[in-house]
Amino acid sequence: MQKIGQDDPARALKALRLRGEYRNFAILRRDPGAPTQAGFYGYAGLSADADADMIAGRGEAAETAPRHLSVWCSNDYLGMSRHPAVLGAMKEALDRCGAGAGGTRNISGTNIYHVALEQELADLHGKEAALIFTSGYNANQAALGVLGRYLDKAIIFSDELNHASMIAGIRTSRAQCQVWRHNDLTHLRELLEGAPKDHARIIAFESVYSMDGDIGPITDVCDLADEFGAYVYLDEVHAVGMYGPQGAGVAAERSQAARVDIIQGTLGKAFGIQGGYIAGSRILIDLVRCFAADFIFSTALSPVLAAGALASIRHLRQSEAEREAQKYSVDLVKTTFKARSIPFIDHNSHIVPVIVKGAANCVAAARGLMSDWDIYVQPIVYPTVPRGVERLRLTPSPQHSPESVANLTRALTHVLSTSEERASAEVAHTG
């Protein structure tokens, strides 16, 4: 007997492809000596009607002859995943501890590297304690889920552009949520004024917003928090390692870190490894440690990853060279784009979004960069961003040379002028 709804998945996937929003994974092998270079082995998708010529990289033949690409969309912002100190620390930890953690933190999984990493993170942010997770997503979901549940009658005031992981944490908490317009302090004040005085208040927002590259009003939010007796929860995943003294983030750069109750960060972007964390007062961190299911029931981060993250953080705390080189690269890209009238959003951060409206057009532009110029940039479409503001999100790094910037500019100038034509052809083929 045919299952009820059996054809629904295929229809949904085909509609996604017709809108240009179906996601194929690019199969890459990043160059161990050059973070901005990668071997490309084709695309991996699971849709039954995926184009045959977009699926490749199977078997030994592909392994021996990849295409070589220049990568412009990595979140390994500073190239720390290839730093000798990081690789050396990971190799040593592998020899000392093996590959895996051996269990959850409660069941044999707490390692000396975990403890050292948490102490380093607490010190980096000037906090009493820190707690590491297997991802930044888990850190946000766990922390906001617990804080919203265990602070008395909590109301969480969430910026409307907060990351999906923060929204998931708020929903998990079942706390009342009030959404304030993005970076709109007047609206936030109105909501705070209207909240019952006997309810705990948590203001949750980000320092650097990853899609537009704009920066949250940290000082003003902390002022409002002081006025209304609210907790401040700040997501710094796109800022840690990148900004502030020793790479402690935008709150530290603006001398506001001490006013933030919980700082949430990641080990998987500027620090170049994997994992997430929170840092704050000992009692708040202990509350999350003891009540967050995401933490309690997850196998601990591999000690190899913890050792690499620890080495990366310690290096970036004493070295400004990577941040200075990255800023030079970002400034060069923006200056060059302005000279060639390439449309991008400039919010004075390291993220450079090039707007290509329409999912099909955006995907076509990315395909053109790949096929004609050997440049890899992932198209950003719905639901990551709203429809109508699709983009190519560029993240210049210290390893991008002036020559590669010039080549990227030439490539973008060409593909942006032909993306609509290419998109029409691809949609016609798909239909």
Q: Which residue has the tokens 């290509």?
A: 356
Domains and CATH numbers, the chain: 8-71+321-430 (3.90.1150.10), 84-318 (3.40.640.10)
Q: Alpha-carbon distance 300 to 303, whole Å? A: 8
Distance of CA 82 to the CA centre of its chain: 19
Q: Which residue has the tokens 């029409």?
A: 424
Q: Is 388 exposed, middle or buried (0-12, 13-18, 19+ CB in 10 A)?
A: exposed
Alpha helices, DSSP H only, in 135-231?
136-150, 164-173, 185-194, 218-228
Tens of pLDDT, residues 214-238:
999 999 999 999 999 999 999 999 9
Question: What six digits make up the tokens of 360?
Answer: 């099909």
Q: Which residue has the tokens 């705070």?
A: 192
DSSP secondary-structure letter at 167? H
**Given 269, 327, 334, 357, which residue is catalytic?**
269
Maximal CA-CA distance, the chain: 67
State the pLDDT at residue 52. 42
Q: What is the DSSP string of 355-366?
A: E--SHHHHHHHH
269 annotated active-site: yes
State the pLDDT at residue 27. 86
Residue 29: C-alpha distances to residues 78, 82, 105, 430 (Å):
18, 13, 32, 29
Question: What six digits make up the tokens of 296?
Answer: 């309690």
Partners of 236 in beta bridges = none
Q: Alpha-carbon distance 357 to 382, whole Å? A: 11
State the pLDDT at residue 420. 65
State the pLDDT at residue 63. 52
Task: Indicate the pairing of strand 262-266 with strand 276-280.
Answer: antiparallel
- Each residue's pLDDT, cut to its tens digit, for the chain (431 residues) gives 778 888 898 889 888 888 878 887 888 888 877 878 999 888 776 654 444 444 444 444 445 557 899 999 999 999 999 999 999 999 999 999 999 999 999 999 999 999 999 999 999 999 999 999 999 999 999 999 999 999 999 999 999 999 999 999 999 999 999 999 999 999 999 999 999 999 999 999 999 999 999 999 999 999 999 999 999 999 999 999 999 999 999 999 999 999 999 999 999 999 999 999 999 999 999 999 999 999 999 999 999 999 999 999 999 999 999 999 999 999 999 999 999 999 999 999 999 999 999 998 998 999 999 999 999 999 999 888 999 999 999 999 999 999 999 999 999 999 998 866 665 555 544 54
Given a contact cutoff of 8 angstroms between Cβ atoms, the answer to whether 99 and 105 are in contact is: no
Query: How many residues would you count in the chain?
Result: 431
Amino acid occupying residue 234: L
Partners of 133 in beta bridges = 276
